[in-house]
Chains A and B, each alone.
Chain A
Amino acid sequence: QSALTQPASVSGSPGQSITISCTGTSNDVGSYNLVSWYQQYPDIAPKLMIYEGTKRPSGVSNRFSGSKSGNTASLTISGLQTEDEADYYCSSYTGSSTFPYVFGTGTKVTVL
Protein backbone atom coordinates (compact mmCIF):
# COMPACT_ATOMS: atom_id res chain seq x y z
CA GLN A 1 0.00 0.00 0.00
CA SER A 2 1.59 3.28 -1.11
CA ALA A 3 1.46 6.43 0.95
CA LEU A 4 -1.00 9.12 -0.08
CA THR A 5 0.68 11.96 -1.97
CA GLN A 6 0.85 15.42 -0.43
CA PRO A 7 2.90 18.45 -1.48
CA ALA A 8 6.08 18.71 0.58
CA SER A 9 5.42 22.32 1.46
CA VAL A 10 2.79 25.03 1.19
CA SER A 11 3.18 28.62 2.30
CA GLY A 12 1.03 31.69 2.67
CA SER A 13 0.87 35.08 4.33
CA PRO A 14 -1.20 35.80 7.41
CA GLY A 15 -4.85 36.17 6.52
CA GLN A 16 -4.58 34.24 3.27
CA SER A 17 -6.12 30.85 2.51
CA ILE A 18 -4.09 27.81 1.58
CA THR A 19 -5.10 24.33 0.43
CA ILE A 20 -3.22 21.09 0.97
CA SER A 21 -4.01 18.20 -1.36
CA CYS A 22 -3.92 14.51 -0.54
CA THR A 23 -4.03 12.22 -3.55
CA GLY A 24 -4.77 8.54 -3.26
CA THR A 25 -6.47 5.98 -5.45
CA SER A 26 -9.92 4.61 -6.14
CA ASN A 27 -9.13 1.96 -3.50
CA ASP A 28 -8.78 4.40 -0.63
CA VAL A 29 -9.57 8.13 -0.85
CA GLY A 30 -11.86 7.65 -3.83
CA SER A 31 -13.92 4.88 -2.25
CA TYR A 32 -14.56 6.08 1.28
CA ASN A 33 -15.50 9.29 3.07
CA LEU A 34 -13.02 8.33 5.77
CA VAL A 35 -10.19 10.78 5.27
CA SER A 36 -8.72 12.44 8.36
CA TRP A 37 -6.31 15.32 8.72
CA TYR A 38 -3.75 15.81 11.51
CA GLN A 39 -1.71 18.79 12.62
CA GLN A 40 1.70 18.17 14.16
CA TYR A 41 4.03 20.67 15.76
CA PRO A 42 7.72 19.72 16.18
CA ASP A 43 8.21 17.10 18.89
CA ILE A 44 4.49 17.07 19.71
CA ALA A 45 1.97 14.31 19.04
CA PRO A 46 -0.36 14.78 16.05
CA LYS A 47 -3.79 16.31 16.67
CA LEU A 48 -6.97 15.45 14.78
CA MET A 49 -8.26 18.42 12.77
CA ILE A 50 -10.75 16.90 10.30
CA TYR A 51 -12.41 13.50 10.18
CA GLU A 52 -14.75 11.73 7.76
CA GLY A 53 -13.53 14.14 5.10
CA THR A 54 -15.34 17.27 6.24
CA LYS A 55 -16.14 17.10 9.96
CA ARG A 56 -14.38 19.15 12.62
CA PRO A 57 -13.89 17.82 16.15
CA SER A 58 -15.07 20.01 18.98
CA GLY A 59 -12.52 22.72 19.70
CA VAL A 60 -10.97 22.86 16.23
CA SER A 61 -11.19 26.27 14.60
CA ASN A 62 -13.71 26.67 11.78
CA ARG A 63 -10.85 28.12 9.73
CA PHE A 64 -10.02 24.49 8.95
CA SER A 65 -12.21 22.73 6.41
CA GLY A 66 -12.02 19.53 4.41
CA SER A 67 -13.31 18.42 1.03
CA LYS A 68 -12.90 15.67 -1.54
CA SER A 69 -13.07 15.31 -5.29
CA GLY A 70 -12.49 11.93 -6.83
CA ASN A 71 -9.28 10.42 -5.48
CA THR A 72 -8.05 13.68 -3.96
CA ALA A 73 -8.92 15.07 -0.55
CA SER A 74 -8.07 18.61 0.47
CA LEU A 75 -7.56 20.59 3.65
CA THR A 76 -8.13 24.32 3.46
CA ILE A 77 -6.91 26.73 6.11
CA SER A 78 -8.53 30.13 5.80
CA GLY A 79 -7.41 33.30 7.55
CA LEU A 80 -3.94 31.83 7.97
CA GLN A 81 -2.35 32.54 11.35
CA THR A 82 1.22 32.13 12.59
CA GLU A 83 0.06 29.33 14.90
CA ASP A 84 -0.97 27.30 11.84
CA GLU A 85 2.69 26.78 10.94
CA ALA A 86 3.10 23.02 11.41
CA ASP A 87 3.19 19.73 9.55
CA TYR A 88 -0.09 18.32 8.26
CA TYR A 89 -0.83 14.70 7.44
CA CYS A 90 -3.83 13.10 5.79
CA SER A 91 -4.94 9.53 6.38
CA SER A 92 -7.47 7.34 4.64
CA TYR A 93 -9.24 4.08 5.29
CA THR A 94 -8.42 1.56 2.57
CA GLY A 95 -11.09 -1.06 3.10
CA SER A 96 -8.41 -3.72 3.40
CA SER A 97 -8.67 -6.04 6.41
CA THR A 98 -4.89 -6.46 6.46
CA PHE A 99 -3.89 -2.85 5.80
CA PRO A 100 -6.83 -0.65 6.75
CA TYR A 101 -5.00 2.68 6.98
CA VAL A 102 -2.57 4.69 4.89
CA PHE A 103 -1.02 8.04 5.78
CA GLY A 104 -0.04 10.88 3.50
CA THR A 105 3.56 11.94 2.97
CA GLY A 106 3.07 15.10 5.01
CA THR A 107 3.05 18.83 4.19
CA LYS A 108 5.01 21.54 5.95
CA VAL A 109 2.94 24.72 6.17
CA THR A 110 4.93 27.92 6.48
CA VAL A 111 3.38 31.25 7.39
CA LEU A 112 5.40 33.95 5.67
Chain B
Amino acid sequence: DTAVSQTPKYLVTQMGNDKSIKCEQNLGHDTMYWYKQDSKKFLKIMFSYNNKELIINETVPNRFSPKSPDKAHLNLHINSLELGDSAVYFCASSQDSNGNQPQHFGDGTRLSIL
Protein backbone atom coordinates (compact mmCIF):
# COMPACT_ATOMS: atom_id res chain seq x y z
CA ASP B 1 0.00 0.00 0.00
CA THR B 2 1.28 3.44 -0.94
CA ALA B 3 1.70 5.51 2.22
CA VAL B 4 1.60 8.97 0.61
CA SER B 5 -0.03 9.11 -2.81
CA GLN B 6 -0.27 12.05 -5.17
CA THR B 7 -2.36 12.48 -8.29
CA PRO B 8 -1.71 13.12 -11.05
CA LYS B 9 1.86 11.92 -11.49
CA TYR B 10 2.30 14.11 -14.57
CA LEU B 11 0.51 17.35 -15.41
CA VAL B 12 1.08 19.23 -18.66
CA THR B 13 -0.96 22.36 -19.19
CA GLN B 14 -1.03 25.80 -20.75
CA MET B 15 0.02 29.03 -19.10
CA GLY B 16 -2.92 30.79 -17.47
CA ASN B 17 -4.84 27.63 -16.61
CA ASP B 18 -5.95 26.56 -13.13
CA LYS B 19 -5.02 23.10 -11.88
CA SER B 20 -5.16 20.99 -8.72
CA ILE B 21 -2.91 18.30 -7.29
CA LYS B 22 -4.30 15.86 -4.76
CA CYS B 23 -2.49 14.17 -1.89
CA GLU B 24 -3.61 11.47 0.49
CA GLN B 25 -1.77 9.69 3.28
CA ASN B 26 -2.87 6.46 4.97
CA LEU B 27 -0.31 6.58 7.79
CA GLY B 28 -2.58 8.26 10.31
CA HIS B 29 -0.20 11.24 10.50
CA ASP B 30 -1.29 14.59 11.85
CA THR B 31 0.90 16.83 9.70
CA MET B 32 1.14 17.21 5.94
CA TYR B 33 3.39 19.32 3.73
CA TRP B 34 3.82 20.59 0.19
CA TYR B 35 7.29 21.05 -1.28
CA LYS B 36 8.50 22.38 -4.63
CA GLN B 37 11.60 20.87 -6.28
CA ASP B 38 13.00 22.88 -9.17
CA SER B 39 14.97 21.71 -12.16
CA LYS B 40 18.24 21.94 -10.18
CA LYS B 41 16.74 19.66 -7.51
CA PHE B 42 16.51 22.41 -4.88
CA LEU B 43 13.73 21.50 -2.46
CA LYS B 44 11.72 24.22 -0.74
CA ILE B 45 8.84 23.92 1.68
CA MET B 46 5.65 25.70 0.63
CA PHE B 47 2.99 24.83 3.22
CA SER B 48 2.42 22.69 6.26
CA TYR B 49 -0.89 21.68 7.84
CA ASN B 50 -1.50 20.07 11.20
CA ASN B 51 -4.94 18.53 11.76
CA LYS B 52 -6.37 20.61 8.91
CA GLU B 53 -4.88 23.86 10.20
CA LEU B 54 -2.19 25.84 8.39
CA ILE B 55 1.04 26.05 10.43
CA ILE B 56 3.68 26.93 7.83
CA ASN B 57 3.04 29.28 4.95
CA GLU B 58 6.28 30.22 3.22
CA THR B 59 6.65 33.04 0.75
CA VAL B 60 4.50 31.53 -1.96
CA PRO B 61 2.39 33.49 -4.46
CA ASN B 62 -1.29 33.82 -3.60
CA ARG B 63 -2.03 31.81 -6.73
CA PHE B 64 -1.16 28.72 -4.68
CA SER B 65 -3.87 27.69 -2.25
CA PRO B 66 -3.71 24.54 -0.14
CA LYS B 67 -6.87 22.88 1.11
CA SER B 68 -7.12 20.20 3.76
CA PRO B 69 -10.62 18.65 3.92
CA ASP B 70 -9.43 16.22 6.62
CA LYS B 71 -6.11 15.31 8.17
CA ALA B 72 -5.48 12.56 5.62
CA HIS B 73 -5.73 14.88 2.63
CA LEU B 74 -3.89 18.01 1.56
CA ASN B 75 -4.64 19.28 -1.92
CA LEU B 76 -2.87 22.07 -3.79
CA HIS B 77 -4.74 24.37 -6.15
CA ILE B 78 -2.83 26.66 -8.46
CA ASN B 79 -4.48 29.55 -10.30
CA SER B 80 -3.22 31.31 -13.41
CA LEU B 81 -0.27 29.00 -13.98
CA GLU B 82 3.02 30.61 -15.05
CA LEU B 83 6.09 29.20 -16.77
CA GLY B 84 8.05 29.43 -13.52
CA ASP B 85 5.62 27.05 -11.85
CA SER B 86 7.12 24.17 -13.82
CA ALA B 87 8.64 21.88 -11.20
CA VAL B 88 8.07 18.67 -9.29
CA TYR B 89 5.70 19.11 -6.37
CA PHE B 90 6.02 16.72 -3.45
CA CYS B 91 3.51 16.01 -0.74
CA ALA B 92 4.78 14.65 2.58
CA SER B 93 3.42 13.72 5.99
CA SER B 94 4.83 13.27 9.47
CA GLN B 95 3.57 11.93 12.75
CA ASP B 96 4.03 15.16 14.70
CA SER B 97 3.92 18.89 14.08
CA ASN B 98 7.03 19.88 16.01
CA GLY B 99 9.51 18.59 13.42
CA ASN B 100 11.09 15.77 15.43
CA GLN B 101 9.73 12.91 13.35
CA PRO B 102 10.81 12.02 9.80
CA GLN B 103 8.67 12.96 6.84
CA HIS B 104 7.22 10.44 4.40
CA PHE B 105 7.14 11.70 0.82
CA GLY B 106 4.94 10.92 -2.14
CA ASP B 107 6.55 10.27 -5.51
CA GLY B 108 5.84 13.74 -6.81
CA THR B 109 3.72 15.46 -9.44
CA ARG B 110 5.68 16.69 -12.45
CA LEU B 111 4.09 19.93 -13.60
CA SER B 112 5.05 21.29 -17.00
CA ILE B 113 3.71 24.61 -18.23
CA LEU B 114 3.64 25.16 -21.98
A in complex with B = no
